[in-house]
Chains A and B, each alone.
Chain A
Amino acid sequence: MTSVLSVKDLRVRYAAKGPEILKGINFDVLSDDFMAMIGPSGAGKSTLIRCINRLVEPTSGSINLLGKDVIALKTRALRELRRDVGMIFQEFNLINRMSVMDNVLSGRLGYTGNLRSLFRHFPKKDIDQALYFLDRVGLSDHINKRADELSGGQRQRVGIARALMQQPKLLLLDEPTSALDPKISREVMALIRGIAQELGVPAVCNIHDVQLAKEFCNRIIGLQDGIKKFDGETSTLRDSDLEDIYAMEVL
């Protein structure tokens, strides 16, 4: 299997004199990975996942994604790279006053000119594709509803459809189930993994629910306080590893 994403010695500080959030992270994502990133709150999972499409600027290190040196990209090239990376968020990050359809279509904005964006006039093939994905995530009855009229699980399905509209080559999932109840969480994870396998797209998934991570992901990385503590197949994760990842800091 080929490597899609390769991160080397990644370091992040939000302020020049602030604490180091990520302290030299290395890992690779292969083309058939559905990888979980686990770790306690504040370990740096969200920061790490946002470095990959540079929603957060890394301080140093290197990121190679789909053969491109992410850190060197200028504005335009960066936007083109982001089009290839679908992202699903903890709080869904939908545009609440827009319809479900417009939210899903907004996944195509990277391919849409300003004039078309202004009138929300998306090409026919985008609309057809949006209808297909809305059906795939089970929302065909809610197309014209406003996004804020939906329940949490339904909103996350809109978020999934939006990410799929990009025809992504990598999926970044930032705690996709943390705002959902356990039953819906399982459904949403199953849906995402099913689609990822179907489309052959690798995924990196931040998740704090270890049970879900074990159930759905083939590989697990454990972060603690900006340091990688574990990296391996899900079956090799032992309780002692978990204790190491989630250990209280010893004073």
Chain B
Amino acid sequence: MSITQPHSDAFTGQIDMRRNRHLKMALGWGMFILFATWCVNGTIIADTDWSRIGGRNGVLASVGRYISLDLGLLSELIIPTIETFMMACVGTVLGCFFSLPVAWLGAANVTPSKHILYPLGRFLMVVSRSVHEIVWALIFVSAVGLGALPGILAIAMRSVGFISKITAEAIENIDAKPVEAVRAVGGNNFQVMYYGILPQIYPVVLATVIFEWDINIRRSAVMGLVGAGGLGLLFFRQMNSFNYGGVTMVILAILMLIVLGEVISHYLRKAVI
């Protein structure tokens, strides 16, 4: 046996396979590059008004306007920041309340009717999530007028989908044994839920609610764009009056709020789990 032995037939077969695979890879990459070029060409190159951008200096000057902070806005920032924060909190709590019945309907093992109410629960979950928070806000602004209330309602509606879905799944995954025990001592439906089901699902549900609250701070920051109060409204006004320094101030306030939310939710989550 020496390594210079000529290739056997088995070898040639494998070498062919290898060559084949390389060919397929090259073909795949080629197609990807063609597709990417087509996208860039269609969306950026053909779709941009190049003459309006001007030179490199023009772009830098435009961006530069945002850097000179408008510190005079500081006192006006406080109330909307608090409002944004409260909108997120109240909206999340309200969303939890709406989520309870939806989760109850949409959990296969506890739903009161498998053929009518279960699909309804599942449908409500999808509706809540498939409508964007800005669209929810638009609906509620037209329904109840400007201010924080439509923002709160929008956030609540948008939160239902995720919270109720996770809750329903947690209910579906519970251990049936404690439930059986509560039924066996003569417990009613409420007691079965409160003693048999709730202790099993609450860590998951609480973690989900904290997560949703964290996201809701982000959501409530943009609610004002459609007139639903908070920092978004201030942002919109600064933009409209071409006060770029003020826009940056609002963005910084939002950033600060989000970092705060991140920190709080980090510690809350630790405390719960």
Residue of B nearest to A112 (CB): B191
Q: Which chain B residues border A83 with CB–CB below 8 Å?
A: 185-186
Q: How far, in Å, is A130 (CB) from chain B's closest CB?
A: 13
Task: Say yes or no: is B58 at the interface (Cβ < 8 Å to chain A).
Answer: no
Task: Say yes or no: is A240 at the interface (Cβ < 8 Å to chain B).
Answer: no
8 A Cβ contacts from A83-103 to B: 83, 85, 87, 89, 91-98
- Per the CB 8 Å criterion, the residue count for chain B at the interface is 19
State whether B194 touches A82 (Cβ < 8 A). Answer: no
The verdict on A55 contacting B183 (CB below 8 Å), with A93-B178, A96-B178, A118-B194 known, is yes
Q: Which chain B residues border A82 with CB–CB below 8 Å?
A: 183-186
The verdict on A95 contacting B195 (CB below 8 Å), with A55-B180, A117-B190 known, is yes
In the assembly, what is the distance between CA of A82 and CA of B185, in Å? 6
Q: Which chain A residues border B178 with CB–CB below 8 Å?
A: 93-96
Q: Which chain A residues border B190 with CB–CB below 8 Å?
A: 114, 117
The verdict on A110 contacting B181 (CB below 8 Å), with A117-B191, A117-B194 known, is no
Task: Say yes or no: is B120 at the interface (Cβ < 8 Å to chain A).
Answer: no
The one of B183, B184, B199 that contacts A95, using a Cβ cutoff of 8 Å:
B199
The one of B180, B188, B200 that contacts A79, using a Cβ cutoff of 8 Å:
B188
A-B contact pairs, 18 of them (CB 8 A): A55-B180, A82-B186, A83-B185, A87-B185, A94-B178, A95-B181, A95-B195, A97-B202, A98-B195, A106-B182, A106-B187, A106-B195, A107-B185, A109-B187, A109-B191, A117-B194, A162-B181, A166-B185
> Hey, what's the 0/1 contact readout for B166-197 against A, CB within 8 Å counting as 1?
00000000000110111111111011001110
The CB with the most chain A CB atoms within 10 A, among B186, B199, B200, is that of B186
The verdict on A97 contacting B199 (CB below 8 Å), with A83-B185, A109-B182, A114-B190 known, is yes
Q: How far, in Å, is A128 (CB) from chain B's closest CB?
A: 19
Closest 3 CB pairs of A and B: A110-B186, A83-B186, A93-B181
Interface residues of B (CB under 8 A from A): 177-178, 180-188, 190-191, 194-196, 199-200, 202
Q: Which chain B residues border A81 with CB–CB below 8 Å?
A: 186
Interface residues of A (CB under 8 A from B): 53, 55, 79-83, 85, 87, 89, 91-98, 106-112, 114, 117-118, 162, 166
State whether A93 touches B186 (Cβ < 8 A). Answer: no
In the assembly, what is the distance between CA of A222 and CA of B173, in Å? 35
State whether B187 touches A79 (Cβ < 8 A). Answer: yes
In the assembly, what is the distance between CA of A68 and CA of B47, in Å? 82
In the assembly, what is the distance between CA of A89 and CA of B184, in Å? 10
State whether A95 touches B196 (Cβ < 8 A). Answer: yes
In the assembly, what is the distance between CA of A122 and CA of B255, in Å? 48
| Besides A83-B186, A95-B199, A98-B199, 7 other A-B contacts (C-beta < 8 A) | A55-B180, A82-B183, A82-B186, A91-B177, A96-B199, A111-B186, A112-B191
In the assembly, what is the distance between CA of A54 and CA of B185, in Å? 12
The one of A97, A112, A117, A118 that contacts B200, using a Cβ cutoff of 8 Å:
A97
Q: Which chain A residues border B194 with CB–CB below 8 Å?
A: 117-118
The one of B184, B195, B199, B202 that contacts A117, using a Cβ cutoff of 8 Å:
B195
Q: Which chain A residues border B187 with CB–CB below 8 Å?
A: 79, 106, 109-110
Q: Which chain B residues border A166 with CB–CB below 8 Å?
A: 185-186
Q: Which chain B residues border A118 with CB–CB below 8 Å?
A: 194
